Chain A
Amino acid sequence: MKILVCVKQVPDMESKFKLDKNNKWFSEEDLAFRMNEYDEYAVEQAVQLKEQTGDAEVVVVSLGPERAKEAVKKALAMGCDRAVHIKDGDYYKKDSYSVAKNIYEYVKDENFDIAFTGLQSQDRGSAQVGVLLAEFLDYPCITTIIEFEYKDSEIQVKRELEGGEKAVVKVKPPVVLTCQLGLNTPRYPTLPNIMKAKKKEIKAVEPLDTENLLTFTDIDYPEKKGAAEILEGDVNELVEKTLDILKQKTSVLK
C-alpha cells in the first residue's frame, strides 16, 4: 500500500504577528514555526496505518520555503518513509487551487491508495487543498474525519458534523481523507527515530507554474471591535482588581 501525507509548516499561533513590507502576508521575522496542527493528526494516522498493514510506504509532501524542511523532517521522524519538498519561497502568493495543482502534478504518477491531509491549515484556514487534490486525482474524498478504521481493504471513518453529531461513512481506496483535531494522539519523535530520519530521502523539487484563481489584495490587523478592559501587573494586585470588578459588574460574588 502506498500512503501520501501532505504537511504544511505554519507559525506558532501564539506569536505576535507583524505585517510584511507589502502588506501581503505576515513578516516571518521572529516567528517560530511548527507543523500545522491538523497535519500532525494526518501523519500519525498514516504511520499507524503503515504499522497495521506492515507493508506500506508513507510519502510526505510539503510545499513551502526552505524552513518547511523542518516540518518534513518531523514527519519522517514520526515514521514516514520519504519526502518530496516542493521548495517555494513564494508559497504565500499561491492560492489553494494552485497549491493543490502543484502537489497533484508531483504525486499523480505515484498511484497512492490513501492520502491524508489536515482539514485546514492554521494560518490560512482555507480547508480546500485536500479536497481539491482529490478532485484533481479523481479520488473520492471524505473531510473532517475524527475516527479511522481500516479492515479487509475497506475504510470506515466518522466525519464530524455540528453539535457533537457524526456521520459514519465507508469507502474503498483510493481515497483522500482530511483530518480533524482529536483523530488520534500524534506521537513525539523519539531520539533514535530522529537519527534514523536523517538518512531518509528528502527530494527537493521546483514549484510548477500553476494558475492562481484568487488575488490577494492585502493583510491587516482586524478592526478592534472589542473593548475589553486590560489588567496588567503583579498577580496579587490583579486578584484584588478582578475581585472588585466581579463584585461591581456581576451578581455572582456577594
Chain B
Amino acid sequence: MKLLLVAEYKSKKFLESNYELIAFADKLKADYVMFGVGDETDLPKCEGKIYLADSEKAGEYNPSLHKKLIAEVMEKEKADFIVLPHTSYGWDLAPRLSAELAFPQVTEVVDVDDDNFILPACNGKLWRKVSTGGKGIITIQGGAFNPENDYEGTPEVINLEVPSVESKIQFEGYEKAEAVGVDLTKAEIIVSAGRGVGKKENVENVRKLAEALGGELGASRPVVDSEWVEHSHQVGTTGQTVAPKLYVACGISGAIQHLAGMKKSDFILAVNTDKDAPIAEVADVLVVADVNQFAPALAEKISSK
C-alpha cells in the first residue's frame, strides 16, 4: 500500500504535527511519499521522497492550485490513499481532492481496524467504521496517531513546477490572535463553564466556584460564541491549551476540540447531568449533577471552611 502524505507548512515551516501523518503510515505498514507547499530549508526528518512546491509561488492558501499540484503527484505516484491532517488546511483541501479524483473521503479518522477506518460520530458518543475499497482520501485527527520515535533522515526533494492557476479567491493576509486577556496557561486551577450552565447568568455559579478554589474561569466555545464569557477564557483547539493541577469542567460534553485543550491537566473533575458524556473519557471523577446546584453548593462549602 502506498500513501501520499500532504504535509502542512505554515510560514515556510514544516509543522511538527506532520509526523503524525508518518505515524499513521507506520501503523498501516504502508510506503509513503510526501507533498508540501513549503521551503527546502525546512524539510521533515524522514526517508523517501518529498514533492515540494515553492510557497512563494504557490501561496499558503490557494486550494485550487494545491489541488492541481497534488493531482499531478498522484499521476506520477499512483498512491492508494492521500492523507491529510484534520486541520483548517486539511479539511478544506480533502473534499476538493475527493471531487477531483472521485476518491471516497473519510474525515477525522481516529483509528484503523484491518481495512476499515474508524471515525467518531455524534460528538464522540458513537464510533463508525467505514471501508473505502482500497483507495481514498483520509484526514486524521490530531493526537490520534502519535509518533513513537523520533524520525531521522533527509528526504529526496523533487521540486514541482508551479503553474499559474487563476484563483477566484484572493488571499489578503493573516490576522493574529488578539493579545490574550487572561493567560490560562499559567493557572494552577481552572474552572470552566460549558453550554450546560444553560444561560449567561448561570456562569456566575461557575465563576464563584473558581473564586472559592482560588482559580481562573475557563469556558467552552459555545459559551464564548454566545458572548457569555470573553474569548480569552476559551479552552480548546481554537482557544488556549492548558495543563493546570485541577481542571473542573462544568456542563461540558467533552467534544474533541475541547479535550485537545485540557486533557493534559493533572486532575480533571467533570460535572455533568449525563453520565455518558464523552468528557468521562478524560475525567478522573465525573459528578452526575446539575451544575447550577452542585457548583454553588461546593463553592459555599469550600468558602465556609
Q: Does A56 contact B (CB under 8 A)?
A: no
Q: How far is the CA of A162 from the CA of B87 in the complex (A)?
A: 8
How many whole Å from B258's CB to the nearest CB in chain A? 12
Q: How far is the CA of A122 from the CA of B120 in the complex (A)?
A: 10
Q: How far is the CA of A236 from the CA of B287 in the complex (A)?
A: 12
Q: Does A136 contact B (CB under 8 A)?
A: yes
Q: How far is the CA of A156 from the CA of B171 in the complex (A)?
A: 10
Q: How far is the CA of A13 from the CA of B253 in the complex (A)?
A: 9
Please state if A166 and B174 are interface contacts (CB–CB under 8 Å).
yes
Complex interface residues of chain A between 129 and 188 (CB less than 8 A to chain B): 131-132, 135-136, 140-144, 156, 158-172, 175, 181-182, 185
Q: Does A213 contact B (CB under 8 A)?
A: yes
Q: Which residues of A sit under 8 angstroms from B297, Cβ to Cβ?
A: 235-236, 239
Complex interface residues of chain A between 55 and 99 (CB less than 8 A to chain B): 95-97
Given contacts A126-B107, A242-B298, A252-B246, contact A165 B172 (CB under 8 A): no
Number of interface residues of A (CB under 8 A): 80
Q: Which residues of B sit under 8 angstroms from A230, Cβ to Cβ?
A: 275, 280, 285-286, 288
Please state if B285 and A239 are interface contacts (CB–CB under 8 Å).
no
Q: Does A238 contact B (CB under 8 A)?
A: yes
Given contacts A96-B105, A166-B175, A238-B294, contact A220 B189 (CB under 8 A): no
Q: How far is the CA of A238 from the CA of B269 in the complex (A)?
A: 12
Please state if B122 and A135 are interface contacts (CB–CB under 8 Å).
no
Q: Does A217 contact B (CB under 8 A)?
A: yes
Q: Does B147 contact A (CB under 8 A)?
A: no
- Which residue from B87, B107, B126 sits with its C-beta under 8 Å from A219? B126
Q: Mark B163-192, 1 if CB is under 8 A from A, else 0.
A: 000011111111111100000000011000
Please state if A128 and B294 are interface contacts (CB–CB under 8 Å).
no
18 contacts between A and B (CB under 8 A): A13-B122, A95-B104, A125-B108, A135-B99, A140-B167, A165-B174, A168-B172, A170-B172, A181-B221, A217-B130, A218-B128, A226-B281, A228-B280, A231-B286, A238-B289, A239-B297, A239-B298, A250-B245
- For the complex of A and B, the 3 pairs showing the least CB-CB separation, nearest first, are A164-B177, A213-B104, A135-B99
